[in-house]
Amino acid sequence: ISCLTMALTGFILDLVSHNKIVQIIVSIISVMSGMYIEKSFRLPDYQIVNTTSYDPDGEILVEIDQNRISEISKIITSKNKTIRSAFKPLSGEITELDDYYVIDVDKNDDVNQFMNNFKNMDGIKWIEPNEIIPFDFPQRTEIESMDKYGKLSNDPSVNMQWHLSFLNMEQYYKFFISNNIQPQRAATLYILDTGIDGSHEDLPSDLTKNKDKQGHGTHCAGVAAAITNNNIGVASMTPNKDWVKVKGIQVIGDIGFGTQKSIIDGIIEATDNGADVISLSLGGITNQERQKAYNDAVKYANDKGAIVVVAAGNANLDGKRYSPANAENVITVTSVNEKSEKSGFSNHVENLKMGIAAPGEKILSTTPSNTYTAFSGTSMATPQVAGLIAVMKAINPKLNTQTVYRILNSTGKETQNTLRTGKLIQPLDAIKALF
């Protein structure tokens, strides 16, 4: 429309080139018409719809000074609200997580108003809503055998795993064999998700036999730690079954929802059970500028030796708006395609401190009942990073988040837009950097 308007204006001005007054009048009319057209046809500014909702069984998380808990509890119960302890970390002496409580208000109460009324009360150290996290299931995709990638392992479906060739995993696997590299100990990787089908033929046999009705958690487990070179199914980031113990904690319900509290509970449980790496292919948009409970949970995991890896999210937005992708001291993972371009669905990490990229489109992996499915999403990119970090931790159990990120970032490759995606992981180079 703008081009047509300019062309028509130019044509008229040329016709009346002998009359300067008419030219001025036509120019004024053209400008005014352009402003009207632009206003009439302009798409509305993009706005994020506030879809935040709160756990009906406990809408508020509050951190309370233990010297004032009795007094504050009486005030809350006097208003016909209930209050109970939120988290029970085993190592309470190194964290403030056991100072958190859940407040359950009436369904007709204004949660924000209730928090505003209490946030300045003496003894209230922090207060925030216990948000419901709607699970963003990845897109199922069809793939074909791609012989151009060659045979990376003896797993029958490995030639359908383009992302492994893209990451030079053939040389990665050979490096471990030719140099006879052995783990100091098997690293423990926790997948916090929809559960894991622990009876799957291509997952480690010591996996807890729990359920996974949605299949998402089983898929993530396979991306990270399916048994490589066992003549079954697919390959993964682990050289063989001796490197990584993968375990699952269900923090997302069977119908696709979790809560901030359930995810933090999962982080605490994984940490207290000896996690080396915690992988979270989950999250959602948040209206909170800062969520202290997530930050405290990640710090608790870090202090006990675990590294937390989180998906950036699949809304093509700023990852800073997504939680727990925006938590402090997590490694946040974006998705790229075969051209090293940011996937159209992937959030970006331009405003986050530790962003990194991995392939996230058409990723074939394990799904329940000994099946294999390809999905696309940052959920698929995240366990590649988590699985690689688990292998790194198996070589050097003392690695911490900052050191691991420095290695991944320094050995990573530039993408088509590194500022928004972070560097693309290079597994072989990351492992070599440990020696």
All residues at 6 or more sequence positions from 176 whose CB lies less than 8 Å from its CB, including other chains = 239, 240, 431
All residues at 6 or more sequence positions from 344 whose CB lies less than 8 Å from its CB, including other chains = 316
pLDDT digits over 98-125, tens only? 999 999 998 888 998 999 988 889 999 9
* From 163, 200, 216, 219, the catalytic residue: 216
Dist CA 210 CA 248 (whole Å): 8
Q: Which residue has the tokens 């931790």?
A: 393
> What are all long-range contacts of 88-96, with beta carbons under 8 Å and residues at least 24 apart?
88/268, 89/268, 89/271, 89/272, 89/300, 90/272, 91/272, 91/300, 91/304, 94/300, 94/303, 94/304, 95/296, 95/299, 95/300, 95/303, 96/63, 96/125, 96/296
Confidence at residue 50, expressed as pLDDT on a 0 to 100 scale: 40
Confidence at residue 47, expressed as pLDDT on a 0 to 100 scale: 29
Determine whether 18 is an active site residue. no
434: tokens are: 């440990």
pLDDT band of residue 13 (cuts 50, 70, 90) is low
pLDDT digits over 262-304, tens only? 999 999 999 999 999 999 999 988 877 668 999 999 999 999 9
Dist CA 88 CA 267 (whole Å): 11
Confidence at residue 391, expressed as pLDDT on a 0 to 100 scale: 98
Confidence at residue 22, expressed as pLDDT on a 0 to 100 scale: 63
Confidence at residue 312, expressed as pLDDT on a 0 to 100 scale: 97
- 25-62 per-residue burial string, b: 16 or more CB within 10 A, e: under 16: ebeeebeeeeeeeeeeeeeeeeeeeeebebbeebbbbb
Residue with the larger pLDDT of the pair 244 and 210: 244
Confidence at residue 42, expressed as pLDDT on a 0 to 100 scale: 35
**Where on the phi/psi map is residue 47: left (φ > 0), alpha (ψ -120 to 50), or beta?**
beta
Question: Beta partners for 356?
Answer: 333, 423
Q: Give the three-state DSSP class for 393.
A: helix
Dist CA 194 CA 176 (whole Å): 32
Q: Which of 70-84, 149-163, 387-401 has the highest mean pLDDT?
A: 387-401
Least confident of 37-46, 52-61, 240-249: 37-46
pLDDT band of residue 37 (cuts 50, 70, 90) is very low
Confidence at residue 11, expressed as pLDDT on a 0 to 100 scale: 61
Confidence at residue 291, expressed as pLDDT on a 0 to 100 scale: 84
* From 153, 343, 346, 379, the catalytic residue: 379
pLDDT digits over 137-147, tens only? 777 888 866 66
Rounded to two decimals, the pTM is 0.87
Determine whether 163 is an active site residue. no
Q: What percent of the chain has pLDDT over 90?
A: 74
Confidence at residue 146, expressed as pLDDT on a 0 to 100 scale: 64
pLDDT band of residue 38 (cuts 50, 70, 90) is very low
430: tokens are: 């990351």
Dist CA 348 CA 336 (whole Å): 11
pLDDT band of residue 394 (cuts 50, 70, 90) is very high
Cβ atoms of 357 and 156 within 8 Å: the answer is: no
Confidence at residue 431, expressed as pLDDT on a 0 to 100 scale: 98
* From 136, 193, 197, 202, the catalytic residue: 193
Residue with the larger pLDDT of the pair 418 and 288: 418
Residue with the larger pLDDT of the pair 38 and 158: 158
The mean pLDDT value of the chain amounts to 89
Looking at residues 36-49, what average pLDDT do you find? 36
Determine whether 99 is an active site residue. no
pLDDT higher than 50, residue 427: yes
pLDDT digits over 360-392, tens only? 999 999 999 999 999 999 999 999 999 999 999
pLDDT higher than 50, residue 43: no
Confidence at residue 140, expressed as pLDDT on a 0 to 100 scale: 84
Confidence at residue 41, expressed as pLDDT on a 0 to 100 scale: 37
Per DSSP, helices labelled H in 96-193 are 111-118, 162-166, 169-178
Question: Beta partners for 318?
Answer: 348
254: tokens are: 């069977």
CA nearest neighbour of 185 among 428, 397, 403, 435? 397
Looking at residues 65-78, what average pLDDT do you find? 94
pLDDT higher than 70, residue 94: yes
Looking at residues 80-86, what average pLDDT do you find? 95
pLDDT band of residue 32 (cuts 50, 70, 90) is low
